[in-house]
Amino acid sequence: MNVPGLRAALAAVIAVAGVLGSCKPTPPAASEASDSGAVDAAPGVEASASAALAAAPSVDASVETAARGKILYDKYCGFCHGENGQGYKADQAPALANDDLLTVATDEYLLEAIVKGRPGTTMSAWSVARGGPLAYPDAAAIVSYVRTWQKRPSEPVDARVANGTAAAANGTYNALCASCHGVKGKNGKYNSLANHELLTAASDGFLAATIERGRAGTPMAGFGSKLSKTQVDDLIALVRSWKIPPEELPDLPSKAGALTSIVVNPKGPQPELEESASFIKVDAVKKELDRGASMVIIDARPPADYARMHIVGAISVPFYQTADYAKQLPKDRYILTYCACPHAESGQVRDALRKLGYPRVAVIDEGLLVWRDRGYGVRGGAKP
């Protein structure tokens, strides 16, 4: 994919008027809609999404496809992973423009990360099959664009098979890994390792290369000089022992449909919150809810994330559909929006609504995960 002059050609294609237009996501083909169970698929979506992925077209390396992928990346990915893939523009969003990742990650690995996400983390599922905005050709175009950052040739690492003993790695993991990835691979500052989608997509060779080489320019150090091959194999076995079964996706909110139960405490007083504030602390929001203040709470994430967990009373308004929903929102109420990363998606909803003339819109500062960890009310499902 790293053809000479690709970056210059990519810029030229993007600059050509009319070639890309607004680059809206590709409408799902009839076969894809059938395979995915449409956007409101519930149980069984896992198998159907996998089937659709298996039938997805190969990633096209053309300059035109990469150019289209850039526009989609800028809209759906760059605000977390950085405009140039540098990572960590939002919390826990890793660097993508990194050869230590791209040389060992297959196109299929990258594609699955986009369409299936990493449930339980800040990485959303973006495919139509999971209620998101992207058809598989859209996700493949993003992969094509991400590949333009790769400088070194890809390496075939997937043939390596780890034959380790999980129990033998407990001490190694606790000493070298737990401070970043959390106890048993969960709730750490960086990538969640005990994640079904990650462990399904990542080969032993991919995991081994990541452990041994690390990711240059990121917090992920390389441990190849400290650990033997047997110790690396043991670590892989330990991480794989934490793999949990895939969750059943709950019913999704209607896509761009009519909102219901928009206002929390509709007969209550206005909240005592700063009207011009851009961010409001979670404790301040909870205090106002407890006294019965009236407000609108918007979950800015894609629908599958909302269906898994959202603040009680929140409505689903994905950041990329703000304009579709805006006319249903009252301008006489204080509007609070949130995401999990914790500002990237919710900040876009806030800014969009302000441009549309909504006078009091702010982001719940620390985001959903802090709200949950404080023991404040959350629930799952398709309704507020």
**Report field, pTM of the whole predicted structure over 0.95:** no
Structure tokens at 8: 């210059």
**288 strand-pairing partners:** none
What pLDDT score was predicted for residue 5? Answer: 53
Question: Is 178 found in the same domain as 226?
Answer: yes
Q: Which of 120, 149, 178 is the last residue of a domain?
A: 149
Among the listed residues 199, 308, 191, the one whose alpha carbon sits nearest the alpha carbon of residue 253: 308
CA distance 108 to 91: 25
Whether residue 71 contacts residue 20, with contact meaning beta carbons closer than 8 Å, is answered with: yes
Which positions ≥6 away from 188 have C-beta within 8 Å?
A: 178, 179, 180, 181, 182
Enter the DSSP assignment of 42. Answer: -
Residue 15: count of CB within 10 angstroms of its CB: 10
Block means of pLDDT (10 residues each) for the chain, 384 residues, are 50 43 54 34 36 48 90 94 88 88 94 90 88 92 95 93 95 93 84 87 95 90 95 96 78 71 96 96 98 97 91 95 93 97 94 97 96 95 82
Calculate helix-pair angle for 63-76, 136-146, nearest 10 degrees: 100
Range of the domain at 341: 263-379
Question: Is 337 found in the same domain as 270?
Answer: yes
What pLDDT score was predicted for residue 42? Answer: 30
Q: Is residue 156 part of a domain?
A: no
Whether residue 251 contacts residue 330, with contact meaning beta carbons closer than 8 Å, is answered with: no
What pLDDT score was predicted for residue 31? Answer: 35
3-state helix, strand, coil in the chain (%, to 5): 45, 5, 50
Q: Which of 115, 149, 183 is the last residue of a domain?
A: 149
How many folded domains does the chain comprise?
3
